Amino acid sequence: MTDETSGAAAPLSFDIRGILAALPHRYPLLLVDRVISLVIGEKIHAVKAVSFNEQFFQGHFPGRPIMPGVLQIEALAQAAAILAIETLELAGSGKLVYFMAIDGAKFRNPVEPGVLLDLEVGFVQKRARVCKFWGKASIEGKVTCEVEFTAMVADPPEG
């Protein structure tokens, strides 16, 4: 689909069915609820609805529930995987996107239940098998996490 005014491709969006088709993750580790916009080869904006019912809030921390920073990075990585799968046309191929490196992770503000966590990810570098991304998580414009990470596209392990 193209934007008739500029000739550019219109951003894509995905509901949960599209996300489940793109990612192998399932509850309780699926951390992307909706893709607001995806521009092939460039960036993605997705959201995670952070609910008090999340399993990790039982122990992190009782009386002061805060989403673990590592799960914010995982949510960003899942958004990046959707971006990579769509950009590299890997949907339905069975290929997986694996972490290779996490660099410069900074946690700015806590994420508590009852918020929509915005997940913005873009390519820093893209190749057929290895991609580098920047990622930023935020709540109503207030940054909670910033990170760069590298991922590889590979076949799933034999089972």
Active site residues: 60
Backbone angles phi, psi at 33, to 5 degrees: -100, -25
What is the distance between the alpha carbons of residues 142 and 112, in angstroms, rounded to a whole number? 13
Coil/strand/helix, residue 24 = coil
Coil/strand/helix, residue 10 = coil
Instruction: Confirm if 105 and 127 have CB atoms less than 8 A apart.
Output: no
Coil/strand/helix, residue 72 = helix
Q: How far is CA 151 from the centre of its chain?
A: 12
- Beta-carbon count within 10 A of 91 CB: 12
- Beta-carbon count within 10 A of 107 CB: 17
